[in-house]
Amino acid sequence: MHPVNEMQVSNSGMRVSVVIPAYNSARFLRETIESVRQQTTPVHEIIVVDDGSTDETGQVIQSLGEGIVYVRQANAGVSAARNRGIAEARGEIIAFLDADDLWLPQKVENQVRVFLGNPDVALVATDRADIDEHGGLLLDSLFKYRGFYGFLYELGNGPIPHALSRLVQVNFIPTSSVMVRKSALNQAGDFNTSIRYGEDLDLWARIASQHAIACIPEVLTHYRRHGSNATQATENLLLDLVRVMKNIRSWGALALSKEGLNADKLVAQSLWDLGYWYFTSTAPRRAYNAFMESFRESPSLRTLIYAWLSLTPPGILGRLRKVKQKTIG
């Protein structure tokens, strides 16, 4: 990484377009946009794509004055809204920010510095903290929680080795922290609008397979958790993650193999996770089907045992669990 000073950042002329998908986001949108306006390095444009909101989202945007590109479309989902924002953007760097999340003031400045110091890096993310709907701290560092902080700190904001294989095992990139070169997005393609959960991982993986990516191990993004967050629906999330892993395998099996990862085992694990959720949710037939599909992808004794247990009568299964508990005790 080439050292870049503050003057170089301010004089870089690097245009950053912020894409904010919004659906019924009136409650938080004002604070979100204010966090963009408070950046120490100003952005070139703020694009809000209103995805068919039925609340006062449009009125809030109108009350915030000039400097916001407002686009309204019929409701089509967050991926379609982000794609629309990308198409409207005029900057060479696209920054993603969900309408209920926040940026800390030096986020853009620090990320631009990484881009300037690493011309080959196409995507730069940051660490995030999680807050509740009132701003109270729930998690101080996503990177620490997922075990990546030390590794990323040692890299010194430089490119992540074997980024593709690391990403598909643990998605450590927070969407609202991402800044990415538009040229890389044009090459990798848009967000997949047929996937509701995991659509971000699907795109980050495509970018990581073609370009270097980097992460700043500093909390510069706040992710707001509240009752309407999209990741509340566990079954649909797990189903979509199976689809994401199958998609990644379809184009990335060779690239993953070069990084020491078996794509079939990756798909099998996603199916196993789905099967186990069905198993613990008392949906035995669905659990059996998921476990057996996982077994066909990558045979294992553990998967076969769980497939058999899925069809075991509840009374016998309960007695087996008691035996296991006594044995462990």
pLDDT in tens, 156-190: 999 999 999 999 999 999 999 999 999 999 999 99
For the chain, give percent helix, strand, coil, nearest 5.
50, 15, 30
Residue percentage of the chain with pLDDT more than 90: 84
pLDDT at 329 over 60: no
Enclosing H/E stretch for 187: helix 182-188
The 8-class DSSP code of residue 159 comes to B
Distance CA 102, CA 226 (A): 14
Q: Provide CATH code, domain 6-228.
A: 3.90.550.10
Token match 């986020």: residue? 107
Q: pLDDT confidence of 231, banded at 50, 70, 90?
A: very low
pLDDT of 244: 97
Q: Can you tell me the mean pLDDT for 22-33?
A: 95
Per-chain mean pLDDT for the chain: 92
pLDDT at 232 over 60: no
pLDDT of 14: 92
pLDDT of 313: 77
Distance CA 139, CA 129 (A): 5
Q: pLDDT confidence of 250, banded at 50, 70, 90?
A: very high
pLDDT in tens, 255-299: 999 999 999 999 999 999 999 999 988 899 999 999 999 999 999
Best CA proximity match to 270, nearest among 241, 305, 291: 241
pLDDT of 327: 62
pLDDT at 230 over 90: no
Read off the pTM: 0.90
Domain boundaries, the chain: 6-228, 235-328
Best CA proximity match to 82, nearest among 44, 58, 50, 43: 50
pLDDT at 237 over 70: yes
Other CB atoms within 10 A of residue 121 CB: 23
